[in-house]
Chain A
Amino acid sequence: MEAKQYIGEGWKHAILIIGAIVVMLPFYMMVSMSLKSQQEIQSISGGLIGAQETQTFPVCVKTGYSEETCTMKPYQYNYWFAFEKAPIPRYLMNGVIVTLSIFIIQVLVALPCAYALAKLRFYGREFVFSMVLFCLLIPVHGIALPLYVMLAQAGLVDTYSALILPWTISVFGIFLMRQFFMTVPDELIDAARMDGMGEYAIVWKVMLPTAIPALLAFAIFSVVAHWNDYFWPRMVITGNRDLFTPPLGIREFRGGIDSDEFGPMMASIVTVTVPLIVAFIIAQKRFIEGITLTGMK
């Protein structure tokens, strides 16, 4: 390679590295703060992990623990206290229950619907599809209040149903899967019909396996959106702490007797974010497998 080409490549890499730093920096801060003591956080000192001096934490003592229990290294304290103060495993489990239920029901609804819109000929199909597109334009916040009123009338506020039901029909999912199904050759469906499959069997046994890449993309959108959602759980979960999702749980660390103690708060955020990142890495691997799976053409 010529020197000139190195410079060209260098520029590209420099820009990409800057972009990566911009994206990674908040995560760096989050991890770093979850390890350091309150003084180090406030004085912005100590580098990534701080000095890790064993000390007694006043907020802990104020909460009612013995001084002995409250003496430890900052990283231990941050994570221990985060789990002491809020039932984080419970919140994580709620997050898993809610996001998985939403995703599974979304798939159960969206796949047959997308299949019908993409591959079946029926009267009014174009109209139905245009309604799907229309619904894509409605912002969630616009219909939040009527939705809340309806759920309240049905007596569902402060239940899992309130967290799950409004999101079970995803027009985005229908649209995305429909666009993908359009690319599946009709002959494959005809072959399945000749083999004796019914329309539902075609959806689940033929379309679903070929649609795995698209489904994973949709899963990422859906799971991330509902795992991180703060707005809707905040509306419908009014009192019952057992139903808190992770973002609501993080809120527990704001305010209160001890004002803002950042260490445990950041520790809880790390705990909440890690499952998503792990899921992402796994999905990424499957994503590539999914693409190679479609060796149809």
Chain B
Amino acid sequence: MGTISLKNISKSFGSTQVLNNLNVDINDGEFLTLVGPSGCGKSTLLRIIAGLEQQTSGDVLIDNKNVNRVRASERDLAMVFQSYALYPHLTVRRNLETPLRLRDYNAFERLPLIGNFSPSKKEKTESINQLVNKTSETLKISELLDRKPGQLSGGQRQRVALGRAMVREPVAFLMDEPLSNLDAALRVHMRSELSELHNSLKTTFVYVTHDQAEALTMSSRMAVMIDGNLLQLDTPQEVYDNPSSLSVAQFVGSPKINIFKGTADSGGTVSFLKVNLKRKSSESNTDLHIGIRPEHLEITNESNENTFSGTVAYRENLGSDIFFHVNIEGGSNKIIVRGLPQFTHQISNGSSVNIKRVSNKALLFNQAGMRVQFNNAMG
């Protein structure tokens, strides 16, 4: 079992409030990602779960047991750190053994030399060796066991750090931006490896990252945190399609969602840039933010009341997609439009283009940044 519940967690350092009354329930075997911009308190939250930091108020429950007063080492959690935090003076094998030795040997058996006289030590050493060998085979690091961390590449250190967490078979893994020290290609590769590892271990993963792509690709649920508040906790698809607020919509998705200034009239008709949406807003007579993701805009040859035009300021070719950064006539900031290469390859910087929307995809937010629903799904 590996359920973790956080109840009304608050944390402040001096007068700075870092976490505001957070409630999160993490299910057994779940891959939960805590995601948010740097400084949002996600790492602090992870450290509170780990027991490395004490919350100012609130409760942490692991498997329904309150662990507020339980030390980090006794919570049976394992943590993987951004800098890997391997013991630099020990070989990989000893690095993997360390948590087991500390857990399994008693104080006498840990003594150098005389410890070997303990009758039960041999048996314990054998089981430790077995666990280390098993883990290193799973992670394909068997041939590295006799090296020191300084002699390993970033990806290899990452595996060893994972291994050190795995050997203990903890109730949950806590990961603090474990991939951010790797180069881009390796990071993408390790994402899939971590997901596979999670599938085979079926243990709870709590994963902290500032990279929304990692959150979207790996997690079963993601918790978006901004400024110490939990804004949304849902599946990645739901967070992407249905963000609860403007901040979440802007944080999740790359390139960023386009935000237009618009208004809703007394009938709830939403208009921006002389374009009217078909769906009616539930809030009327107010200024609104209209969010449309780049893939929900298309470059078109048509020119009618549903399109708007602009000039391409910058063309970002990713091979599979081309993103056009477009200055809109009558709009203040640039917007980003996704184009498919086969249709748009001839468009270059400085071209004038017409842009149309994919219907039923716009998201409305009020002035406070909260989501505004449409009255009717279609229409």
Q: Which A residues are closer than 8 A to B by beta carbons?
A: 185, 187-188, 190-197, 201, 206, 209-210, 292-297
Contact = CB atoms under 8 A, between A and B. Distances in A.
Interface residues of B, number: 28
Given A187-B176, A296-B150, 5 more contacts: A185-B85, A190-B50, A195-B73, A197-B102, A293-B88
A294 B79 CA distance: 22
Given A190-B81, A194-B73, A194-B79, A295 B149 contact: yes
B72 A193 contact: yes
Given A191-B85, A295-B88, A196 B102 contact: yes
B87 interface: yes
25 contacts: A185-B85, A187-B82, A188-B83, A190-B72, A193-B73, A194-B72, A194-B78, A194-B99, A195-B98, A195-B102, A195-B164, A196-B73, A196-B74, A201-B102, A206-B87, A209-B87, A209-B88, A209-B90, A210-B89, A292-B150, A293-B89, A294-B88, A295-B149, A295-B151, A296-B150
Contacts of A292: 150
A295 B148 contact: yes
Given A194-B78, A293-B150, A295-B148, A185 B83 contact: yes
B79 A296 contact: no
Nearest to A296: B88
Contacts of A188: 83, 85, 87
Contacts of B85: 185, 187-188, 190-191
Interface string B137-171: 00000000000111100000000000010000000
Given A191-B85, A210-B89, A295 B52 contact: no
Query: Among the interface residues B52, B103, B148, B176, which one has the most CB atoms of the partner chain A within 10 A?
Result: B52
A171 B18 CA distance: 36
A197 B85 CA distance: 14
Nearest to B52: A190
Contacts of B312: none
Contacts of B98: 195
A190 to B, nearest CB: 5
Interface of B: 47, 50, 52, 72-74, 77-79, 81-83, 85-90, 98-99, 102-103, 148-151, 164, 176
Contacts of A294: 88, 150
Contacts of B87: 188, 191-192, 206, 209
B348 to A, nearest CB: 44
| Interface pairs A-B: 5 shortest CB-CB | A295-B150, A196-B73, A209-B89, A191-B85, A196-B102
A203 B83 CA distance: 20
Query: Among the interface residues A206, A209, A295, which one has the most CB atoms of the partner chain B within 10 A?
Result: A295
Nearest to B90: A209
Contacts of A210: 88-89
B148 A193 contact: no
A194 B77 contact: yes
A179 B269 CA distance: 65
Given A191-B81, A296-B88, A196 B103 contact: yes
Nearest to B99: A195
Nearest to A210: B88
Contact of A196 (B90, B99, B150): B99
Contacts of A295: 88, 148-151
Contacts of A209: 87-90
Nearest to A188: B85
Nearest to B148: A295
Contacts of A193: 52, 72-73
A92 B65 CA distance: 62
B83 A187 contact: yes
A293 B164 CA distance: 20
Contacts of A296: 83, 88, 149-150
Contacts of A206: 87
A251 B45 CA distance: 66
Contacts of B78: 194
A294 B149 CA distance: 10
Query: Among the interface residues A190, A191, A295, which one has the most CB atoms of the partner chain B within 10 A?
Result: A191
A191 B89 CA distance: 14
A112 to B, nearest CB: 19
A193 B174 CA distance: 14
A89 to B, nearest CB: 31
A174 B52 CA distance: 25
B263 to A, nearest CB: 50
